[in-house]
Amino acid sequence: MFGEQQRFMLFLIAPAALLLGLFQVVPIVIGANASFRDWALYNPKKTWVGLDHYKAVITDPAFLEVVLPNTFIFMILSVAGALALGLGLALLLNRPFRGQKIVQTVLMVPLMVAPVIAAIMMRWMFNDQFGIVNAVLEGLGLEGQPWLVERWSAFGIIVLTDVWLWTPWFTLLLLAGLQSLPKEPFEAAAIDGTSAWRVFSHLTLPMLQPVIVVCVVIRAIDAFRTFDIVWTLTGGGPGRSTELFSLYAYVLAFLNLDLGRGSAAAIVGGLIILVVGIGLYRLVDRVTKT
């Protein structure tokens, strides 16, 4: 039925496709089915309820006014923060100097740390009674803050943790990008006595743009599904004010035990990021082609 080459191609992807089908496609289909039903533990009949769960989710003030803004603000702040810091560091490190290997090794540290552990560290450092941050503040004569008890400071610490975790990743990728740029334009600019800022904005940045865009797209998509650090740092609190989308779906399904509505929330979030992801893919396509 197939040619020899087709059979070879099929065999190469068959195991991957099978696993993908069984553990991602099948669950998504079953989740979609559950999202139209009253799929809770106390209702063994799993009554068909149509779009009720979707209506409930997209009209839920907690979802519209807290979770969605939180998720997008988190995505923008954490990607922008890590990109700005990472780019700055990459520019700083893009020259030969003694101890380069040591600096690079130290910068690798956050990449090895599990998000759960990073969150635990931050929770300890920002502990209101015994944390080092408040100890330092009090040593300076300032007042310690109940960091994780107020919405925006807690949210800030979640962003900070994420930026700490991901800045090194940006640094390494952008440094690799910088080192692969052609040298001649920079030498010409140096001969012309171009100011450092103009070199950066007219040469470095445009030439680095494809790498930056790819990094931002990958990180933005991953930032959207952040769960571990929020769960461990604040558990979505105080109240539900720092919940991100993944946590919202988890809470609905496993703490409120409403699996139908949780599935609906998971699908709504999946659709949102799919739209964002396709838009970003177009962007990459356009940037890398020009």
Partner 1 sequence: MAMVRTPLMFGRLPLGGRRLLFALALTGICLAFAFPVLWLILTSLRPESGVYYVHRGTEFTLASFAEVLQDDRLLQAFFNSALISTLATIFSLLVTVSSGYMLSRFRGPAAQTWFGTIYVFRCVPYISWVLPLYFVAQSWGIYDTYIGLLLPHIAVHICFFSWLMKGFFDGIDPSMEHAALIDGCTRWGAFIRVALPSAIPAISALAVLCWLFTWNEFLFALILTGNKVPVITVVMAQFVTEMGLRWNLMAATAVMALVPAFLLALFGQKYVIRGLRI
- Binding to partner 1 (CB under 8 A) within 29-48 occurs at 30-31, 34
Q: Please identify, using beta-carbon distances, which residue of 151 and 225 lies nearer to partner 1.
A: 225
Q: Please identify, using beta-carbon distances, which residue of 80 and 207 lies nearer to partner 1.
A: 207
* Residue 107 binds partner 1 (CB under 8 A): yes
User: Alpha-carbon distance 258 to 42, whole Å?
Assistant: 10
Q: Please identify, using beta-carbon distances, which residue of 155 and 245 lies nearer to partner 1.
A: 245
Closest to 241 (Cα-Cα) out of 160, 163, 156, 162: 156
* Residue 173 binds partner 1 (CB under 8 A): yes
Choosing from 37, 250, 258, 261, the residue that interacts with partner 1 (CB under 8 A) is: 250
Applying CB under 8 A, which part among 53-61, 73-81, 120-128, 150-158 lies near partner 1?
A: 120-128
Closest to 181 (Cα-Cα) out of 90, 45, 73: 90
Rg from Cα positions in the chain: 24
Choosing from 51, 73, 114, 283, the residue that interacts with partner 1 (CB under 8 A) is: 114
* Residue 199 binds partner 1 (CB under 8 A): yes
Least distance CB 253 / partner 1 (angstroms): 5
User: Alpha-carbon distance 23 to 169, whole Å?
Assistant: 29
Applying CB under 8 A, which part among 47-55, 56-64, 150-158, 225-233 lies near partner 1?
A: 225-233
Choosing from 37, 231, 243, 261, the residue that interacts with partner 1 (CB under 8 A) is: 231
* Residue 108 binds partner 1 (CB under 8 A): yes
Footprint (CB under 8 A) of partner 1, residues 48-87: none
Choosing from 145, 156, 200, 241, the residue that interacts with partner 1 (CB under 8 A) is: 200
Q: Provide the 10 A C-beta neighbour count for residue 88.
A: 14
Footprint (CB under 8 A) of partner 1, residues 251-270: 253-254, 259, 262-263, 266-267, 269-270
Least distance CB 16 / partner 1 (angstroms): 4
* Residue 124 binds partner 1 (CB under 8 A): yes
DSSP H or E segment with residue 221? helix 205-224
* Residue 214 binds partner 1 (CB under 8 A): yes
Tell me if 251 sits within 8 A of 236, measured CB to CB. Answer: yes
259-289 and 52-59 helices cross at what angle (nearest 10)? 70
Q: Please identify, using beta-carbon distances, which residue of 9 and 51 lies nearer to partner 1.
A: 9
Q: Please identify, using beta-carbon distances, which residue of 17 and 84 lies nearer to partner 1.
A: 17
Least distance CB 183 / partner 1 (angstroms): 6
